[in-house]
Structure 1
Amino acid sequence: MGNGNIKQFEKKVFIIVFTQQELNDWRNKIPIMRDIMDLKPVFWMNPNLKNMNETPSFPLTRDDIEEAELLWQRFAPFLENEFPETTETNGMIESPLKRINHMKESYFTAIDGALYLKCDHELPIAGSIKARGGIYEVLQYAEKLALESGLVQKNDNYAMFSNERFKSFFSQYSIGVGSTGNLGLSIGIIGATLGFNVSVYMSIDAKQWKKDLLRKNGAEVLEFEGDFSEAISAGREKTIADPKGYFVDDEDSRHLFLGYSVAALRLEKQLKRENITVDADHPLFVYLPCGVGGSPGGIAFGLKQVFGDHVHCFFAEPTHSPSVLVGLVTREMDRVSVQDFGIDNRTEADGLAVGRPSEFATAISDQLVSGIYTLEDNELYRLLAMLADTEGIYLEPSATAGIPGPQQITPYVKKYAIDFSNATHIAWATGGSLVPENDMEMFYNKGKSLR
């Protein structure tokens, strides 16, 4: 049995059916739920936000993040061997930080502070933020198996993972994952490269080109007519039935979370290189597109460990898939889905098309995220076209969700009397570089027509 699957057997599935009266009660009890259920864009300030000296003990610490970074470093020679696109970074999977002045001037009427784009759409291998979590989880599993079998020691040169002996060894094991697209790409590509038998259970929202690319890289793709929850449930059930199966659980994975959190250590170095100060007089605002909540939650956790109360993290979700928002607002966390409230979970932002939030990540984000705002799909397309016109940068629709952040959070800035004049704003771009040219042209043309 793969590591972690004992817990997967005990995974609880919550099915809630609210009566119409109960839905009306939610509307009356929590006024913002009216607009959420009516699919209107909203901004929510988190009343449970804690200062770092007030937060409870989390299941992970900064030491865990540092250990995760060491694992990335051990595997750098292997990644450089297998993926030539990582040669310039010596096998490290990292993205640039770019100032987007033209976009800021075109989109915002008057926003103080500098606006940057964290270009995770350029991450090598998988072309999205999921490269951080997905690749990390597979690498830690591969290392665990190799260490237990005596194939490797931690002080060895991990370039040896490219040897046929390792690939033959890993071919005994299977990896499964449920995905709306990008997580599946990261798991499928790195898993197949190592030699694992990888099965990706894709929801109806997943784009065809992502399925084609997975198959091209040697992963099995299984398609479902339902959404992410159906795909992940089917994948979990089938994978854990295999004695040598390992399921990457986007709803409840500490390893995915840790992989994302390492981004904070890398960002700290980038900011220092840019001579950007983060302190009480120079606050940092980070805007993170959010689906199940693992990647934004992991990054927010890491940023809070590095910058403490001087960083303010906000999640951005589609109006049709506000899973983390609904979980936090109702206090039901992962026990409810957006469908329970009559929200259809259908959005063009396929990477964010998730109905139920992560159990693991949501419990942590509840204490750390400053707020959440929602956007309509058409706005994502408009942002896509505008960014292409002003900066020559092309993203997936879902990856643009962080860009409007500075103008969305005005109530928060007023409440806490924060001076924006010396602020740094970072919109986290989560995917786009692997999108086929024809698909990107369609995205752009749609955004252009909406402008």
Structure 2
Amino acid sequence: MDKIIENLKAKEETLWINPKNAKVNNDEFSKDDIEDARARLDRFAPLLEELFPASRKQRGILESPLVATYELQNKLEKYYATPLFGKLWFKLDSHLPISGSIKARGGIYEVLKHTEDLLIKANLLSLNDNYKKIANDEIKQYLSNFQVAVGSTGNLGLSIGIMSAKLGFKASVHMSSDAREWKKAMLRSYGVNVVEYDSDYSVAVAQGRKEAQNDSNCYFVDDENSKSLFLGYAVAARRLAGQLKSFDIKVDSKNPLFVYLPCGVGGGPGGVAYGLKQEFGEHVHCFFAEPTHSPCMLLGMHTGKHDKISVFDIGLDNKTAADGLAVGRASSLVGKVMDGMLEGIYTISDDEMYRLLYLANKCEGLRLEPSALAGAKGVVHINKLYDSKALENATHIAWITGGSMVPDEEMDKYIQTGKELM
């Protein structure tokens, strides 16, 4: 009997430690690839500054705050009745400009890369230009001849749809049944074509891909396989290294770094984890967090079948309040890249995400969506897994993936749900 599979079938919260983890990076991508992505984002900064006022405080650089969570860590010790060694921080991708989630990294990056490729090919742009020129009417008119499509549970669709529409592209977002109504409404307010499905994420992606194949002017952002998305996420690691340095936080053998990343199809957490391994090598320990109803990455990596197995195959329903993580089949790219690099994966129930959402609001004043809190329980698992002496100087970072765009009325419901569950 496979105890891990039995636990997943029973929807029990499960911690899986990767037996293949060699604590080293693989060579799927290089530091040069990540640096190329970073440089491209820098080139586009003047344009983003022009198009999105919310990005002006950072001069068009899309980056999020790193904040200490002292009060919450103390509360978690009491709530879980266990001492938590090391210091817990939140990386607030929930507060990224433009689309308010981690998807602003990979999704926006891929649209920008596609835009650059098209305009350079048409002799409308060179690498030495000020990219602010892309906002002019001539270029927007040219881009209106092209379409960008994506399949999404919500947040990726927001980043792709908003960015594409602002640049002048026709944009189509194929939304799964898990997508929140407010996300669909926001996309439509930007003029994005929202195509709704009664089925899950995989069907939305398949239909989006099919549409693109039938139109030579349609570019499909493939969340299941995209290397561009992956590299956009990976840039976050270099930026985080700078933030840690600004706080005089060391990362070495005596000062380990633990990072907990909510995981849907895997592109976002996979890209960030890959970049972190490039930056910190064996001194960073990355864990993914998935809903108990949608543990596609854990299932794929544990069985070695990756995208060849679905949560439906073991009787799960892929239905979760963590809409951004409601994915039944893992990325064919990410699981294989992570095979020798990822420390482990744990699952978390919807109720627990709501409780943590409530505690984060009560202790730190943060307003976050349920999926964003999946990483917040990682510090508890690791304190039970590692010797306390090994964690005395540890830095724990829960990657908070979304929430700032959630309408107040919806957010108040989230917080009330968490309060009632407490």
Query: Which category of TM-score, normalised to the shorter sequence, fits these structures?
Result: over 0.9
Q: Could you tell me which amino acid in structure 1 is paired with residue 43 of structure 2?
A: R
Aligned partner letter, 2:27: S
Q: Distance in 1 between matches of 2:263 and 2:226?
A: 16
1:435 equivalent to 2:406? Answer yes
Partner of 2:111: 138
Query: In the alignment, is residue 104 of structure 1 matched against residue 73 of structure 2?
Result: yes
Q: Distance in 2 between matches of 1:326 and 1:224?
A: 25
Identity of aligned residues (%): 50
Among 43, 48, 53, the alignment partner of 2:15 is: 43
- Report Cα offsets for 1:312-357 as digits up to 9, x if no partner: 0000000000000000011101111100111110000000000000
SS in 2 for 1:161: helix
SS of structure 1 residue aligned to 2:360:
helix
Residues 388-442 of structure 1, C-alpha deviations (whole Å, 9 max, x = no match)? 000001110000011111111346425xx97100000000000000000000000
CA contact (8 A) 2:294 2:317 kept: yes
- Alignment correspondent of 1:92: 61
Give the AA of the match of 1:329: H
Write the distance in 2 (CA, Å) between the matches of 1:170 and 1:189: 14
Q: 1:365 deviation in Å?
A: 1.3
CA displacement, residues 230-269 of structure 1 (integer Å, 9 cap, x when unaligned): 1100111012210111100000000000000000000000
Query: Is 2:175–2:195's contact at 8 Å kept on the other side of the alignment?
Result: yes
CA separation in 1, counterparts of 2:310 and 2:219?
Answer: 25
> What residue number does 2:225 align with?
252
Using the TM superposition, name which of 401-410 and 33-42 deviates more.
401-410
Q: Once the 2 structures are TM-superposed, how far is the Cα of residue 57 of structure 1 from its aligned partner?
A: 2.7
Which of the numbers 41, 48, 62 marks the counterpart of 2:31? 62
Give, as a single letter, the amino acid of the residue that structure 2 aligns with 1:57: D
Residue 420 in 1 paired to residue 391 in 2? yes
Q: Does 1:281 pair with 2:254?
A: yes
Residue of structure 1 equivalent to 2:274: 301
Q: Does the CA contact (< 8 Å) of 1:129 and 1:431 recur in 2?
A: yes
Cα distance in 2 for residues equivalent to 1:127 and 1:329: 32
C-alpha deviations, 1:63-84, integer Å up to 9, x for none?
A: 1000000000000000000001
Q: Which residue of 2 aligns with 1:9?
A: none
Q: Distance in 2 between matches of 1:411 and 1:296?
A: 23
Are 1:446 and 2:420 an aligned pair?
Answer: no
> Mapping of 1:380-399 within 5 angstroms?
380-399=353-372
Distance in 1 between residues matched to 2:26 and 2:161, nearest whole Å: 36
Structure 1, residues 98-126: CA drift from partner, whole Å, max 9, x if none? 00000000012311111100000000000
Match of 1:117 among 76, 80, 90: 90
Secondary structure of the structure 1 residue equivalent to 2:216: coil
Decide whether the 8 Å contact of 1:43 with 1:409 is kept in 2. Answer: no
Tell me if the contact between 1:121 and 1:431 (Cα under 8 Å) persists in the aligned partners.
yes
Counterpart of 2:23, as a letter, is N
* DSSP 3-state at the match of 2:174: strand
TM-score, normalised on structure 1?
A: 0.91
CA distance in 2, matches of 1:98, 1:419: 23
3-state SS of paired residue (1:428): strand
Aligned partner letter, 2:76: Y
Distance 1:290 1:418, change over 3 A: farther
List gaps (5 residues or longer) in structure 1: 1-27
1:263 is matched with which residue?
236
Among 368, 374, 377, which residue is 1:404 paired with? Answer: 377
Residue 201 of structure 1 contacts residue 232 of structure 1 at CA under 8 Å; is this kept in 2? yes
Aligned residue in 2 for 1:4 = none
Matching residue of 1:22: none
| Structure 1 Cα separation of the partners of residues 353 and 119 of structure 2 | 43
Contact 1:174/1:246, CA 8 A, preserved across alignment: yes
Tell me which amino acid in the other structure corresponds to 2:333. F
Deviation by residue 1:113-146 (Cα, 9 ceiling, x = unmatched): 1110000000000000000000000000000000
State the partner residue of 1:17. none
CA contact (8 A) 2:233 2:272 kept: yes
Corresponding residue for 1:23? Answer: none
Which amino acid counterpart does residue 21 of structure 2 have in structure 1? L
**How far apart, CA to CA, are the structure 2 residues paired with 1:294 and 1:56?**
16
**Offset of residue 51 of structure 1:** 2.8
Which residue of structure 2 aligns with residue 335 of structure 1?
A: 308
Q: Secondary structure at the match of 1:404?
A: helix
Q: Distance in 2 between matches of 1:258 and 1:441?
A: 35
How large is the Cα RMSD of the aligned pairs?
1.0
SS state at 1:87 partner: helix
User: Could you report, residue by residue, the CA deviation over 1:277-328 in whole angstroms, capped at 9, with x for unpaired residues?
Assistant: 0000000000000000100000000000000000000000000000000000
AA partner of residue 247 (structure 1): F
Q: Is the 8 A contact 2:238 2:279 kept in 1?
A: yes
**SS of alignment partner, residue 127 of structure 1:** coil
| Map of 1:194 onto structure 2 | 167
Give the SS at the match of 2:333. Answer: helix
Asked if 2 retains the 8 angstrom alpha-carbon contact of 1:45 and 1:412, the reply is no
Distance in 1 (alpha carbons) for counterparts of 2:253 and 2:26? 23
Distance in 2, matches of 1:246 and 1:75, equals: 20
- Secondary structure of 1:88's counterpart equals helix
Alpha-carbon distance in structure 2 between the residues aligned to 1:136 and 1:90: 16
From 374, 377, 402, the equivalent of 2:347 is 374
How many residues of Structure 1 are paired with residues of Structure 2 in the alignment? Answer: 418
TM-score after normalising by structure 2: 0.98
Stretches of 4+ moved more than 3 A in 1? Answer: none
Contact 2:85 2:383 survives alignment (8 Å):
no
